[in-house]
Structure 1
Amino acid sequence: MQRNTSVEKGKVGFTCSAFDLLHAGHVSMLRDAKDQCDYLICGLQVDPSGRKGKNQPIQTVVERYTQLKAVGYVDEIIPYGTEEDLEDILNMYNIDIRILGEEYRDQDFTGKDICRKRDIDLYFNKRDHRFSSSDLRIRVCSNES
């Protein structure tokens, strides 16, 4: 499979998340992702709650898109609704490297076979911080009373 040779974009990276309640952990992950490429595309998952263990987003997709667009490490955002949409993105875009969380290293994940078939490199970023959306939800709720 031919790699992206666009002079304008250079090495294209792709990462994805719901980016709900954008926090310091997201920014750290995006900085690490951008360090792996010249042009970073973020897949914005509209509603991950259909997947086991995932919460429905608190913020609307417009709120999350607007916040993500303001992060300087992000060059392009592609909202997607289903795992099939994610596979379509991996098949349609000239992606050189896919960035995922370390927790996916020894697991199956959507598009793993596509990455192999299209010769898309994989990079697993480490979570070397204590920030999470789940923790932020708990902190916000406990401070409401």
Structure 2
Amino acid sequence: MILGYTTGVFDLFHIGHVNLLRNAKAMCDKLVVGVTTDELVSYKNKKAVISFEERMEVVRACRYVDAVIPQEDMDKFAQWEKVKFDLVFVGDDWFKTEKWQTIDNKFKEVGVRVVYFPYSKGTSSTLINNVLLDLRSDKK
């Protein structure tokens, strides 16, 4: 059995999230998804619109997802030590970055393959938030 793992904030769930989860599930038998906690989101100087508990439920409801767990820190290797996944899926915006080269090399040592998926162009929670802010400010 091939176990896959991916993470995200999954705020304002959109087609980019669906594409990530669908593509990841197509490459593994079981897909575990780490949903970023509100505390970790704030650490990144952001704030989720949807609460952590609700984001967990939305992701859990997706048919491509077999299990949902909290992502409480950015240490993917520590999560591997708990979950023991075979594949980890990340956006290609991380491809060949210094941070992910180090993580990729560490995963290779334990037989985990990093799969980089294309980032969904044109759709992101940040973009949706900005459009909503613009629409709301126009009505004032």
Q: TM-score, normalised on structure 1? A: 0.82
Q: For 1:105-139, what per-residue CA distance to the aligned partner results, in whole angstroms no more than 9, with x for missing partners? A: 10113844541221101110012542101111012
Whole-angstrom CA distance in 2 between matches of 1:23 and 1:14: 19
Q: For 1:32-73, what per-residue CA distance to the aligned partner results, in whole angstroms no more than 9, with x for missing partners? A: 11111111110111132323xx52212111110111111111
Corresponding residue for 2:74?
83
Corresponding residue for 1:5?
none
Q: Give unpaired runs (5+ residues) of structure 2.
A: none
Whole-angstrom CA distance in 2 between matches of 1:125 and 1:35: 12
Q: Give unpaired runs (5+ residues) of structure 1.
A: 1-9
RMSD of aligned C-alpha atoms? 1.8
1:77: how far off?
0.7
Q: TM-score, normalised on structure 2? A: 0.85
* Mapped pair 1:49 → 2:42: yes
Q: Among residues 84, 89, 98, which one is paired with 1:99 in the alignment?
A: 89
> Structure 1 residues 68-77 or 108-117, which shifts more?
108-117
Corresponding residue for 2:133?
141
Moved over 3 A (4+): 109-114
Structure with more of its chain in helix, by fraction: 2
